[in-house]
Structure formats: C-alpha cells, structure tokens
Amino acid sequence: MVSTTVGVVKEPSPGESRVSLIPEQVSRLKTSGLDVVVESAAGHGAHIADEEYTAAGAAVVAVDELYERADIITRVSALSAADAKRLRDGQLLAGLLEPLRYLDIMRELAANNITTASLDMLPRTLSRAQSMDVLSSQANIAGYKAAVLAADNYGRYFPMLTTAAGTSPPANALILGTGVAGLSAIGTARRLGAVVTAYDVRPESRAEVESLGARFLELETTVAASGTGGYARALTEDERAAQQRELSTRIGKFDVVITTAKVPGKTPPLLVTREALAGMRPGSVVVDLAASDLGGNVAGSEPESTIDIDGVRVIGAGNLPSVMASAASAAYSRNMFAFLSHLIDEGSVAIDLDDEINAGVIITHNRSFVNKIVADAEAA
C-alpha cells in the first residue's frame, strides 16, 4: 500500500513565525503509518531546528520537492496566489485559509481539483471538534499576550503597590469582547493585578466574566446579540451607533483597553472611536487584537504597529500568536494532528461530507465548492 505523505511548509508571510506541525506530532503521524516531509527551516521561527524533524522521522527537503511529494499540505496562514499555483491536481491543503476573504484563490483551487480544509470554518460548538479548534487555541494565546503587552506599554504599575514612597493605585482595564481571547485577557490582567471590567453584546457572557473576578460593564443600550456557533450576531446600524456612543463616554475612565472582536473574513466592528480615544488620559494603552488590513476595532489602529493618538498608545496586534511562536505552534500542531487523525482512514484521506466536521471545514472538493457558507458567498 502506498503511504500518504504530509508536507509541512515554511510560512512565507512576513511576520509569521509559527509552523503547522512540530516534531512531537510528526512522530505520531509516522507511528500512524504516514510519511512526512518538512520544508527546510520551516520551524526556525518557532525555534525548532531541522535536525529535530529528522529525529522525529521526517525528511527535510527543499520547497519544490515538498510540493512534488506531498499528498497533504499543512500550513498556518492563508496562501497567496503564487502559493496556490504550486499545488497540483488531487492534493489536499489544510490550514487557516480564510476562504470568505480569499474567494478568488479558492475559486482557482477548486478549478485545479485541490481539496481545501480551512480550520477557521470548524463548527466550534461540536464537542468532538474541540481538539481541532485552532481558533480557540490561538485566541487563548492572543488574549494572554495582549494583557502582558498592555502591562509592558503602560507607564504605571498594573497592581496596587504600597511602598515607603506611597501607594500606587491599580490599573483599570476594560476588555471588549469576551470570547476565548477576551476571557484569556481578563484572567491574565487580573493575575497581573489590574482591576478588570469587561463588556460583550452576548448577555450570557456576564456569568463568565464574573466567574473570573471581573466586573461586567452595564450599558443602557445593551441588546441581546447572541448568534450561532458561539459567535455574536452582527449589530444593526442603529444598535452599533448607540453602542459606540455609550462606549465612547465610558472608555475614558479606563487606563487600558483591549479589544477582541474579530469577524472571520469581514471588517471588524468599530468599538473605540476617535472621540473615545480623545477622552482617555494621556499615557493610556489600547491593544487592538482585530487590527488587520481589513480594519480594526479601534479607530486609527494599524496592523502590527504602535502609534500615538492624542497621547494614547494604540497597538495594532492582530497576529499576537506569532509573537509567541513556540507556544502557538505547539497548540496549533495538536489541533492539526487531531484534524488529520479525523480525516485519514487506514492511511488514506477519506472525505465524508455527511460528517458535520468535514461539512464545515472542507471548502473545495472534486472541482466544486462544497461548503454551503462559502458556496453561497461565491454565488453572490
């Protein structure tokens, strides 16, 4: 029987230091009867040497040989048009492909008979999919790092400290959005000693916030905006405007604000307006986890940049997991291994579109869009 070969590419995106599989999971794939090829230097950003992959049983090869030999290509970030042209008929590509954002590339991959599995489309409410939940594992890291980054950039103490020179009050931190990243930021900011308040449009999030010892921010304009799949629904224009107005009057009371409201493939909601920034004290810090070339939660934030707006330090931090590449790669690799284990049956890829996980994750197959959400977007 011919063995299936998994290929691990070096991420080509600037600033992306993660790798999709680390040696621990490579060894487990080998034990399962799969072959693994790894692009030379693929793990360097996560401090993993080529020799570690070799010791785990992988072959370390040049990029052209990897694409030639691999049946399955694993990666972290969405691929470029140039990357797409490397793929050949019948290969399977797995990663965070952002299909709603890169429909043109998905269309080309479908035409070239490439099967694509986008883990950012995973049905996150399925209990058996939790071990594959890349978005949650990476968001947990992002939330942790956001709180640490805020503390590092804040010019005062986070905890209350009493010294011979007097008492320093604790920082007041506001976390906007209480998904996985927000809850991680709450817990970390609390451990660092800040007084933490959080807000979310989903009313059920109050219990989670309070269970972590934080306060829940009450807005008079709060509406029930729970959506499907564990996400908040999009607010109407009137709801959004009312939310922004009231948040703008409340944000000025906080020393640190961390925003976490991402929308897959779409422009994130604006939560912190210019007026809100103008109302904050000089020296305050705002960390925008949604900052990207699609926009951000904070007016004026720039992806992977720190800028000064009216004396407030605004940090665009849309890819914080890459900053913690070793931890993020280890978590991502466990998720990817769980997905490959689900997808591969007796050493071969088995695409069962009646399976709920596959129905959510598989985007293109047999030259067609098979994911309903993406197919509807492509037809629109």
CA dist., res. 241 & res. 96, Å (int): 32
CA dist., res. 70 & res. 53, Å (int): 16
Are 119 and 339 within 8 A, CB to CB? Answer: yes
The DSSP bridge partners found for residue 168 are 161
CA dist., res. 71 & res. 66, Å (int): 9
What pairing do the DSSP bridges indicate for beta strands 285-288 and 312-316? parallel
List active site positions: 124, 130, 133, 136, 231
Alpha carbon of residue 205 to chain centroid: 20
CA dist., res. 47 & res. 64, Å (int): 23
Q: Which residues contact 160 (CB under 8 A, 6 or more apart)?
A: 167, 168, 169, 170, 193
